Every structure is written in C-alpha cells, then in structure tokens.
Chains A and B, each alone.
Chain A
Amino acid sequence: KQEVTQIPAALSVPEGENLVLNCSFTDSAIYNLQWFRQDPGKGLTSLLLIQSSQREQTSGRLNASLDKSSGRSTLYIAASQPGDSATYLCAARMYSGGGADGLTFGKGTHLIIQP
C-alpha cells in the first residue's frame, strides 16, 4: 500500500526566504505526483503536476522536482510572501489498479510566512 510522508509537519519562516517542502512515497510505481495548496476551511488548489517521466515542473515562484527511484519530491518556494501561508499537500497517483485510481495524500506541511 502506498504511503506518502511530508516533512516537516509545520514550518514558520520570515518573509523573503526561500524554502523547501519535502514529500516521500514508498512505492515508486506512480503515474504522477501533484502538489496542492489548502487554505483554512477551503478545498484544494492544484499547484503543480509532475508526470512520472518528468524531473521537475515550474510555475512562477514554485518549482517541484520528482525523483521516482528514491521516492521523493520537493516543492521549492522562492522569495516567500505572507500570502504563501497555507497547508501544502503532495499526492501520488499509483500506476496499478486495486484501489489505486485515487490520489494518495500526505498529511501536509503547515507553512507560516512571517511578515
């Protein structure tokens, strides 16, 4: 069974810093990995989708990398801003069936950017 772990569980940094959020998964047979942002009491907003054949994806100040062989993905946020404060979730979609059609999520990293 796929397990997704996110480290750290919480992070607080001053505005302007660059930071890295980590995501690891136990089964490397994934179709893709997706990073989401969740604001308090809200749904999930898709940030980046990395296919299994890709190494990284970029959108604005965000860059996500994927290393399937080591079961790891990172989300890099450049020049952090207070508006980046949210919970960041990574989710893996498995390659095979048997309950794998949905995404398997980590518990998230709760990020606070101090003004």
Chain B
Amino acid sequence: GAGVSQTPSNKVTEKGKYVELRCDPISGHTALYWYRQSLGQGPEFLIYFQGTGAADDSGLPNDRFFAVRPEGSVSTLKIQRTERGDSAVYLCASSRAGRDTEAFFGQGTRLTVV
C-alpha cells in the first residue's frame, strides 16, 4: 500500500482481556515506531524497531505491553490484562533508516477498555 496501514481502526475490549494491534509499514521502510495518544495530548513514544529487533523499548509503560516484528515488516503491539487506563489511540509510524528521515504515520487504532 501507499501508506502506513493499521488494523483494526477501532477495538473495544473488556478489562482483563488480551488485545493485538497490527501495523503494516510503508514498503521499504526499515524503521517502525509505536506511539500512544491520549485525548488532548501529543503522541507518546512506546517502542522503536530497526528491522526485526526492538532497538529502543524504553517507552513501554510496563510488562503488560509487548511488540514484535518477526520479519522486519509487519509489527504487532500486544497488550495483556488490559486496564481502563490503556484506552487511547495507538499510532504506528515508519521511516527509512536513519534518524534524519521523515516519519509517516498510520490512521491509528482507537482502543477502548470497558
């Protein structure tokens, strides 16, 4: 596809359940980022992949959050034992290698934990 694709666009889950959010980056982009955006706030960094490996996961809030990118393309953000405070928009971005490159974002997944 032409841009970053995220699925699902909306996800409602019950407290305590497990969820997976998917990100399909722009073809050829080796860098992939996950962010979380709460209402009225700017996006907050969660994790960064360069290729298949998580180069920086310092933004993950706790060990209930985990992300993978097994083949260096599609990434999945996994949240265990969801809590109401996890409700937010989860954004994925991709870019070419290098910190001087432009980041392109997907439309986000709106997660609601009830």
Is the pairing of A and B real?
Answer: yes
Give how many B residues have a beta carbon under 8 Å from the other chain's beta carbons.
28
Taking A46-B102, A46-B105, A93-B99 as contacts, is the C-beta distance between A107 and B42 under 8 angstroms?
Answer: yes
Q: Which residues of A contact B6 (CB under 8 A)?
A: 43
- Residues in B96-113 with C-beta less than 8 Å from chain A: 99-100, 102-108, 110
Give the segment of B43-51, B63-71, B76-84 that binds chain A. Answer: B43-51
Q: Check if B20 is an interface residue, CB within 8 A of chain A.
A: no
What would 18 more interface pairs be, CB under 8 Å, given A32-B100, A91-B43, A102-B48? A4-B42, A32-B99, A41-B110, A42-B108, A43-B105, A43-B106, A46-B102, A49-B102, A89-B42, A99-B59, A102-B33, A102-B46, A103-B33, A103-B43, A103-B103, A105-B44, A107-B42, A108-B42
**Interface class of chain A by DSSP:** strand
Q: Check if B56 is an interface residue, CB within 8 A of chain A.
A: yes
Cβ contact within 8 Å between B42 and A106: yes
Q: Name A107's closest neighbour in chain B (CB-CB).
A: B42
